[in-house]
Structure 1
């Protein structure tokens, strides 16, 4: 694994180049290429600075009693790209999502979006700034229709004011616009035929689609997806993957948690790996399988270590004892076989 790919003679896109590309309209034509150019040849190092970060974390820690769930020294998320957040169960991925979106507060540290501090903000305040999320377990309101769920995602609704609610003329035009926008999104996610169905009647995959569509009602800048493919029928997986890619093509920054490495390799521009609450690796998808720390985190540090002579002798003795037991016709339950092959 190269320590500094920039030494290979290629050139990472800097903020000036990215700004020039945006002014030229290239970001609208090819956001994927722009994001990949920005991340190309960055060192595969934890905490590496990104050319144009949208989200920046510094010294974030979260503990629960004696357990440290998250301990991230420094992390930057590139604007306009798809960043995959992976790691074994219990690595702290969802806890990190909760911290970034105001559903939990850290013990220490700061984090910002577009240079604005997000500390102490509640979830709805974070969402108003343009950072929205979905959940591993979908949060669709089962006893509301699909369309009503969508309308809940619209921001700045004038009819939510008690006084204005008594004056329909002040909010009816906005309500019509929100309904039209919701129907456009439902059609895009192929849920328009379900608009009058209760959300509780949808399949797990359809609820994932509904939650993603509802998040787009607020015109977000950053979309955070917590295991969007979990529990989804394979028939809908490709549809969901296409929608995630579309978010990038529309200029949004995407951060998603996923366990399926085929999915991660397919859609990610950059991958961040967590284990035991810490970021242990960063890099493009193809770099992750080459990182020994990542392999150790998933498979154990000694998964491929050779056995010592003593361990080989012990294993051989156990195998020989089992063979002798089978040949003698003795029931395994009649005694416990020690490592030396004797019954006791």
Structure 2
């Protein structure tokens, strides 16, 4: 089992402690080179009309650690996720997973390579039961072909093994009592748990979580935090988008900050949170600059004039 060996079916043993320690030598700068990157992206650009949503020059994701991707709303985080996982295509750029190029590789093939993701808005199959949702997440199923599906002995044992694995994951994610319920009947937090558990059916090497805490009640947050940490201890790599800064500080080993589609800062959580570039990205440049007396007077006059103008218009 991955939890015992620190490996996935895709190979390499990963020591999470050594992986975190290796980050101590990495420069705290955008695009910093990592000792053992699992994902490398170069010159990724995605535009929508006249808007350049993503413009990433270079970024590397360290293997075996938890990396947070943060930034203000509209920074391009989810779009970048979509590009890396094959759900969207960039205008230009190259990126790789375990040294294998992913340009023009469709999303389902990316997942088969060991790079899976969840979504900000959960994508459970509402009219299937919880256990059926879990079975769908398994890869390499012999019964998926039209002809083989009609010959049950060909795939019966594999399905039994998949079901056992699914039940084990449902126990782990505290969803076993919901096993036969329709997925559409689950709460928002339970759907997040189901989506994460289903992602693990593929035994992935890299798990990408898009705002895993969005819409989750406080009672389930701690449970989700524990599950994300356990992924790292199993030897997996985690990359997640999140707005909850307490969560980022709690579980991330490295933080990458996006603003206006670009990577503006990188580093450990404590270092990044105090970086002026990060503060400017969230609050605007020179938000804390001191104002002299004349500047304060000018701002007050402009505000009073605006209020007076609005008062005249309302008469």
TM-score computed with the length of structure 2 as normaliser: 0.91
Matches within 5 A, 1:19-168: 31-168=15-152
CA distance in 2, matches of 1:32, 1:176: 32
Note the alpha carbon deviations across 1:239-278, whole angstroms, 9 max, x for none: 0000000000001110000011110010001000000000
Larger radius of gyration: 1
Matches within 5 A, 1:1-344: 31-315=15-299, 335-336=311-312
Note the alpha carbon deviations across 1:61-109, whole angstroms, 9 max, x for none: 0011110000111100000000000000000000000000000011111
Partner of 1:18: none
Task: Flag structure 1 segments of 5+ consecutive residues without an equivalent.
Answer: 1-21, 322-331, 338-343
Partner of 1:6: none
Contact 1:45-1:282 within 8 A present in 2 as well: yes
Secondary structure of the equivalent of 2:286?
Answer: coil
Q: Aligned in 2, Cα 1:171/1:37: closer, same or farther, shift over 3 Å?
A: same
Deviates more, 1:260-269 or 1:312-321: 312-321
Shift of 1:303: 1.4
Q: Aligned in 2, Cα 1:86/1:172: closer, same or farther, shift over 3 Å?
A: same
Note the alpha carbon deviations across 1:161-181, whole angstroms, 9 max, x for none: 111111111110011000000
Q: Aligned in 2, Cα 1:319/1:105: closer, same or farther, shift over 3 Å?
A: closer
Larger RCO (alpha carbons 8 Å, 6+ apart): 2
CA distance in 2, matches of 1:240, 1:57: 28
Shift of 1:333: 10
Shift of 1:319: 8.8
Computed over aligned residues only, the root mean square deviation of the Cα atoms, in angstroms, reads 2.5
Q: Aligned in 2, Cα 1:70/1:315: closer, same or farther, shift over 3 Å?
A: closer
CA distance in 2, matches of 1:137, 1:82: 21
Shift of 1:315: 4.5
Q: Aligned in 2, Cα 1:243/1:335: closer, same or farther, shift over 3 Å?
A: closer
